[in-house]
Amino acid sequence: MRLFKLLLTLAVATVALIPAAGTAQAAEPGVNVASVSHDAIAEGLATGAKTIRIFASWADLAPHSAADYPAGGQSANYDAAIRQINAAGAQPIFVVLNTPSWASGSNDPLVPPTDPQTYADFMKAFVAHNKNVGTVAGYEIWNEPDETAFWHPTPDVGRYTALLKAAYAAVKSADPSATVVTGPTTGNNYSWIQQLYANGAGGNFDVVSVHTDTACLDRGPDAFYRDPGGQLAQYTFLGYRSVHDVMAANGDGGKPIWMSELGWSSTAGGPTSCTRGQWTGQKPSGVTEAAQAQYLTQAYACLANDSYVQKADWFTLRDMSNQSVDELNHYGLVHTDGSPKPDLSAFRAVAAANGGGAAQCGDFDAPSIRIIKPTQGQQFVDKLDLSAAATDTGVGIARITFSYDNQPAEIRNFTANLLNNTPVGLAPWQGSGALALGPHTITVTALDRNGNTSTASVQVTKVALTALRATLVPAVKFKSAKVKCTKKRVCSIGGSMSRAAAAKAGAAVPSLGGKVSVEWQFRNKKKKWRKLIGGLKPANKAFTFKARLKYKGRWRVRVVYQGQAPWKKVTSKWMTFTVK
């Protein structure tokens, strides 16, 4: 995910977790700093942060051999940082990565050690030493091992699991009370966490860590989408829920999650300014400084809904200027010159409130459904009409689907121009004519734009014509009150059958089966009406009858619906006209 290497500086990834609203302990606010210098630590503590996240480079602390630590390298700098942070009532989080070349055979520090025990031995020495210096909140075992930018040449869950297991045993042997944290994932990578369990990592960590400062993030923490399986997706802030679901499924639902990086870049870029990730050239690279501050406040209020999210460290303290991708230079609480951004005040307010109170976050309410046709218990002979409406007062309706009898094949999906409480459907559903006699289930599924889904069903029964009594009365509707005739005496009449009266009466209104016929009658010299011409048309479609009438004089015409249960036979009134 990253396009740059970090040896001692911080990564751009994020940690975010969000569940349903409720009363819970807020996530403890922390901040990422770019070095262990006295000034950087002091600036971080001035924000009110309760934890200071620091990258600890194994390659710098033991550059030539394991014997370098703690006498050689930069051990004294880390000791001073622990004491400075503890003196302010806060604790450091160390993310330990970067392999010295003597342990990997490579000059690339992001290549893991050949033998994971060498990393474990260093962790044992590092934890034992720090125990005598002060209090450390926890140790992250590497940074984003699921991401090519931090694990070279490519992520390897089996190899990382071996490193984690060796490190866990070593840390606990040095200090049983020390907290071992999984290497934070890029986004809420629940799939990677599941792979850790599958490779035997269960029981070898105390906390799962995630990052949510993902590429070109321009939506607030309450915005989300779902993966095809229904999980809150990896690159949504709320995807922490999916991570926790995996933990719970593997017996670790009681373990906490730490979001050791969360943040938004304040590039205020244009609509196509993103230059990394799958949305390159298709979305903004970041948000405005005002939105950055707004999302910070909102994010901690979201996290306060879930007590299992214990810590959340903002990425990052100070803007940078040395990253080749400009988006990565604007995640800070302060500008590169130290002047405050709006999100600094927002963070200080959250920190002063120990994370703050919970607030509703995200629309997780599924749409309501109103099935109009068919009605519950309806009997039918030929075909069914389908009609339903959905309502979603949150993000809006995305799809309405009709299906039947739990069949995987859908009758029809409706996705275009869907409005609340506005019916869509088929009149009739032609496929219902092929259904077998007997009971059937018609199901309507409604999906909102967040992927929240609801279903509703009605039971119907297809019966033989002889088993169903005609009970409903349709009506004949004409397009015009007059018969139209040409000079060649070709006359026509058009119209359709209507079920409106039955609907107003509250009755079930299945589609019309059967035929409509026309009767043309001529008045002869004895002033008697004689039927000369007739015809048949389907009753479920608009009709037009035409006839060449041979005689001049008075004619009349009417339309007759032949009837098919549950619809009764109906005859229209005569329409009288003159043929010249």
- Over residues 7-11, mean pLDDT: 29
pLDDT, the chain, mean: 92
- Tell me, yes or no, whether 452 and 484 share the same domain: no
The two structure tokens encoding residue 479: 């397009």
User: What is the DSSP annotation of 94-148?
Assistant: EEEE---HHHHSSS-TTSPPSSHHHHHHHHHHHHHHHHTT----EEEESS-TTST
- Tell me, yes or no, whether 426 and 348 share the same domain: no
Task: Please say whether the dihedral angle defined by the alpha carbons of residues 445, 448, 452 and 454, taken in this order, is positive or negative.
Answer: negative
Q: What is the pLDDT of residue 242?
A: 98
- pLDDT score of 380 more than 70: yes
- Over residues 338-352, mean pLDDT: 98
Number of separate domains in the chain: 3
Q: What is the pLDDT of residues 166-222, one digit of tens each?
A: 999 999 999 999 999 999 999 999 999 999 999 999 999 999 999 999 999 999 999
Q: What percent of the chain has pLDDT over 70?
A: 94
CA nearest to 446, candidates 412, 380, 402: 402
The CATH number linked to 91 is 3.20.20.80
The pairing of strands 553-561 and 570-571 is: antiparallel
Alpha-carbon distances, residue 537 vs 173, 245, 427, 544, 562 (angstroms): 88, 59, 17, 8, 10
Q: What is the pLDDT of residues 356-379, one digit of tens each?
A: 999 999 999 999 999 999 989 888
CA nearest to 200, candidates 152, 175, 166: 166
- pLDDT score of 50 more than 90: yes
Q: Binning pLDDT at 50, 70 and 90, where does residue 396 land? A: very high
Q: Domain ends where: 467, 500, 519?
A: 467
Q: Domain ends where: 325, 352, 379?
A: 352
Q: What is the pLDDT of residue 8?
A: 31
47 close to 347: Cβ distance less than 8 angstroms: yes
- Tell me, yes or no, whether 276 and 237 share the same domain: yes
Tell me whether residue 361 is in a domain: no
SS in 3 state form for 458-499?
EEEEECCHHHCCCCECCEEEECCCCCEECCCCEEEEEEEEEC
Q: What is the pLDDT of residues 225-283, one digit of tens each?
A: 999 999 999 999 999 999 999 999 999 999 999 999 999 999 999 999 999 988 999 99
Distance separating alpha carbons of residues 472 and 567, to the nearest angstrom: 5
Alpha-carbon distances, residue 265 vs 225, 275, 308 (angstroms): 21, 13, 26
> pLDDT higher for 57 or 508?
57
Tell me whether residue 22 is in a domain: no
351 close to 483: Cβ distance less than 8 angstroms: no
- Tell me, yes or no, whether 98 and 128 share the same domain: yes
- Over residues 319-343, mean pLDDT: 97
Domain that holds residue 37: 28-352
Q: Centre a 10 Å sphere on the Cβ of residue 510 and count the other Cβ atoms it contains.
A: 27
Q: What is the pLDDT of residue 26?
A: 92
- Which residue type does 501 have? A
Q: Which residues pair with 400 in a beta bridge?
A: 414, 446
The CATH number linked to 560 is 2.60.40.10
Distance separating alpha carbons of residues 479 and 475, to the nearest angstrom: 13
Tell me whether residue 7 is in a domain: no
- Tell me, yes or no, whether 387 and 323 share the same domain: no
Peptide bond into 153 cis (omega under 30): yes
Q: What is the pLDDT of residues 135-156, one digit of tens each?
A: 999 999 999 999 999 999 999 9
Q: What percent of the chain has pLDDT over 90?
A: 86
- Over residues 499-518, mean pLDDT: 76
Q: What is the pLDDT of residues 436-490, one digit of tens each?
A: 999 999 999 999 999 999 999 999 999 887 777 788 889 999 999 999 999 999 9
Counting every residue, how long is the chain? 580
- pLDDT score of 17 more than 60: no
Q: Domain ends where: 467, 483, 498?
A: 467
Q: 430: Cβ–Cβ under 8 A, 6 or more apart, which residues?
A: 383
- Tell me, yes or no, whether 411 and 496 share the same domain: no
Q: What is the pLDDT of residue 255?
A: 98
- Tell me, yes or no, whether 438 and 480 share the same domain: no
Tell me whether residue 17 is in a domain: no
Q: Judge if pTM exceeds 0.95.
A: no
Distance separating alpha carbons of residues 326 and 101, to the nearest angstrom: 31
51 close to 81: Cβ distance less than 8 angstroms: no
